[in-house]
């Protein structure tokens, strides 16, 4: 049966059938080839996307902004302090007005226990698609690019592939849970066997882990949770080692930081990568805290595919926008 994408929100991959995710990935691969050949793809000619960023961004903002430009449209960058949101305008009023001016609204809002709620409040009031550029629960744009990168290395049939997803130490800021949560949700639907490693107390949201286990049961994959970092690396095909905030380890920022400092040895280094399979790949959504999350020898070494992963952010973003802002 034909899949209907047009005017649908893209807040989590959970809202799409696996076959629909496959369509997105196939289109992303086609767009990547066209981009390499410098072939114009004016599929969203004169369409407007409003981008509302509550949090800083490099890859997300630029992949979206460049992507819609390459599709023939235009993106407006909006910061909360430049809108009447800062003066108390309601979420519904903002959504309804922007819906009258353009063709989609994209939002990045990562505040814990607030971002996804805000995203859904906008979607409830908007008359155009809402695209999630990362919230506190999900990062669907990132995980699409991650999956595309894995398939480029290992093929479309990923059943039995071992993916180690590990917490790693960092000091820069309290990073959202949304990247590892989106990864366990989507990777489980492709038959990958996941080992999730983190120090005690640095749990992901229990409802997300439960949903990921349901996905794993349906698609024949496994999810193993451990508090030993090396378990994620042993015989792994894919390593994703990055920090996320310990929002269940303590209630205050200071408390979370103190809990994190007990685990400075949770670093991705050559010794740990030596436990993986010979042709394994190292991935990171970036930015990485070099020297804390990962050593330079690994992130700049032969296993690393971080720049291919970042490049795929452009092509998967274009595929999503082409389908939900145009499509059928």
Per-residue model confidence (pLDDT) at position 4: 87
Q: Which residue has the tokens 């930081």?
A: 257
pLDDT mean for each 10 residues of the chain (328 residues):
81 97 98 98 97 94 98 95 82 96 97 96 98 98 98 98 98 93 98 98 98 98 98 98 96 94 97 98 97 98 98 98 90
> What span, in angstroms and rounded, lies between the C-alpha atoms of 66 and 1?
32
CA–CA distances in Å: residue 239 to residues 40, 140, 145, 252, 296: 35, 19, 15, 30, 15
Q: Where are the alpha helices (DSSP H) in the chain?
A: 18-36, 59-70, 91-101, 115-125, 140-154, 178-187, 206-219, 229-233, 253-260, 270-273, 296-299, 306-325
3-state secondary structure of 43: coil
Residue 123 near residue 9 (C-beta atoms within 8 A): yes
Which pLDDT value is given to residue 1? 37
Helix (H, G, I), strand (E, B) or coil at 59: helix
Q: What is the DSSP letter of 205?
A: P
Burial class (CB in 10 A: 0-12, 13-18, 19+), 4: exposed
Residue count (the chain): 328
Write down the pLDDT at residue 3: 63
Q: Which residues on adjacent β-strands are paired with residue 162?
A: 193
Pair 232, 166: CB distance under 8 Å? yes
Chain-centre distance for alpha carbon 258: 27
**Angle (CA) 83 86 90, round 5°:** 85
Q: Return the residue matching tokens 């819609």.
A: 68
pLDDT at 2: 43
Half-sphere exposure of 19 (CA within 13 A, CB side): 4
Q: How confident is the model at residue 107, as a pLDDT?
A: 98
* Cis preceding-peptide flag for 287 (omega within 30 of 0): yes
How far apart, in whole angstroms, are the C-alpha atoms of residue 150 and residue 156?
A: 9
Tokens, residue 254: 């200071």
- The radius of gyration computed from the CA coordinates of the chain, to the nearest angstrom, equals 19
- Cα 233 to Cα 195: distance, rounded to the nearest angstrom: 9
**Could you tell me if 245 and 256 are in contact, meaning their C-beta atoms sit under 8 angstroms apart?**
yes
The full set of domains in the chain, from first to last, is: 13-139+313-325 (3.40.50.1370), 142-309 (3.40.50.1370)
């Amino acid at each position: 049966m034909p899949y209907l994408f047009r005017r649908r929100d893209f807040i989590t991959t959970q809202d799409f059938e696996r076959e629909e995710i496959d369509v997105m990935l196939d289109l992303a691969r086609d767009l990547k080839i066209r981009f390499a050949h410098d072939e114009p793809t004016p599929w969203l000619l004169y369409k407007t996307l409003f981008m509302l960023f509550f949090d800083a961004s490099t890859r997300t903002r630029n992949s979206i902004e460049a992507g819609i430009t390459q599709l023939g449209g235009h993106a407006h960058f909006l910061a909360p302090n430049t809108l009447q949101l800062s003066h108390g305008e309601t979420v519904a009023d903002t959504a309804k007005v922007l819906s009258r001016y353009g063709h989609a609204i994209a939002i990045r809002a990562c505040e814990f226990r607030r971002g996804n709620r805000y995203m859904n409040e906008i979607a409830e009031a908007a008359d155009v698609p809402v695209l999630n550029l990362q919230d506190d629960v999900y990062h669907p744009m990132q995980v699409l690019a991650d999956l595309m990168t894995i398939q480029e290395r290992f093929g479309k049939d990923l059943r039995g592939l071992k993916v180690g997803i590990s917490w790693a130490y960092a000091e820069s800021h309290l990073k959202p849970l949304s990247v590892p949560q989106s990864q366990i949700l989507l990777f489980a639907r492709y038959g990958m066997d996941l080992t999730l490693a983190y120090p005690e107390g640095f749990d992901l949201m229990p409802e997300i882990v439960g949903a990921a286990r349901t996905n794993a049961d349906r698609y024949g994959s496994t999810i193993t949770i451990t508090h030993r970092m090396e378990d994620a690396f042993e015989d792994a095909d894919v390593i994703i080692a990055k920090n996320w905030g310990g929002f269940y380890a303590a209630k205050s920022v200071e408390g979370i930081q103190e809990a994190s400092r007990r685990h400075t040895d949770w670093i991705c280094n050559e010794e740990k990568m030596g436990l993986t399979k010979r042709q394994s790949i190292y991935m990171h959504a970036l930015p990485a805290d070099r020297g804390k999350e990962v050593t330079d020898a690994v992130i700049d070494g032969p296993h690393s595919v971080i720049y291919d992963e970042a490049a795929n952010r452009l092509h998967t973003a274009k595929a999503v926008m082409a389908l939900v802002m145009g499509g059928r």
